[in-house]
A and B are shown apart, each in its own frame.
Chain A
Amino acid sequence: TQLLEQSPQFLSIQEGENLTVYCNSSSVFSSLQWYRQEPGEGPVLLVTVVTGGEVKKLKRLTFQFGDARKDSSLHITAAQPGDTGLYLCAGGGGSNYKLTFGKGTLLTVNP
């Protein structure tokens, strides 16, 4: 069974601070996705990374896929209250249709 561990589980910071959240596994994934979920809504896809070492940027968010494709990180620069939400990583295994989800990091950005 492929497992994804996310850390930290909870993170509360002030507006303007930088932060990094992590997604780790002992398994290799062919692709890794990050989602953000707001209260009362479903997760929304932010990015997909497929190549070991790949870095993608989405405005103030930077996503990195580990060289061995077993881990990933999400860095947010100058966090804003609108960044508040549950950040989920999900790993895919090639032709395996199943996405394995981590339990998420609950981020609160205080004004």
Chain B
Amino acid sequence: DAGVIQSPRHEVTEMGQEVTLRCKPISGHNSLFWYRQTMMRGLELLIYFNNNVPIDDSGMPEDRFSAKMPNASFSTLKIQPSEPRDSAVYFCASSPGLNYGYTFGSGTRLTVV
């Protein structure tokens, strides 16, 4: 199994531009999570999908952030327009169930200048 696959690994963009982050979860995992990690705030949950349905998006910072999961093998996190304070490492994780733990991707390091 290739694990959770995220792309791109690095993204540098100018303020105001649209950014799309992509994730392919592990086959058979029915839960998918998007996290943001910064030094100041640690890992923050942005949104959780179960069976492709968004269950909780209370962690999404504001309307500039949106996420979709059109099928069991693909999810996107979009930021439009991007701002410098969005600079962080964004992780996607999938899980077959809570007590099994999460498998994280390698992350996308986003820099907004």
Contacts and interface: CB of A to CB of B under 8 A. Distances in A.
Interface of A: 31, 33, 35, 40-45, 48, 50, 88, 92, 96-99, 101-104
Contacts of A102: 42
A98 B34 CA distance: 12
A27 B103 CA distance: 25
B58 to A, nearest CB: 10
A42 B104 contact: yes
Given A42-B93, A98-B48, A31 B104 contact: no
A103 B93 CA distance: 17
Contacts of A45: 101-103
Contacts of B105: 42
A102 B37 CA distance: 12
Identify whether the interface residues of B are mostly helix, strand, loop, or mixed. Answer: strand
Contacts of A104: 42
B98 interface: yes
A48 B31 contact: no
A103 B99 contact: no
Interface string B75-113: 000000000000000010100001111111111000000
Contact of B106 (A33, A41, A97, A103): A41
Main DSSP-derived SS at the A contact region: strand
B12 interface: no
Interface of B: 4, 31, 42-43, 45, 48, 50, 55-56, 91, 93, 98-107
Nearest to B58: A98
A48 B31 CA distance: 18
30 contacts: A31-B98, A31-B99, A40-B107, A41-B106, A41-B107, A42-B4, A42-B91, A42-B93, A42-B104, A42-B105, A42-B106, A42-B107, A43-B102, A43-B104, A45-B102, A48-B99, A48-B100, A88-B43, A92-B98, A92-B99, A96-B98, A97-B48, A97-B55, A97-B56, A98-B48, A98-B56, A99-B102, A101-B42, A102-B42, A104-B42
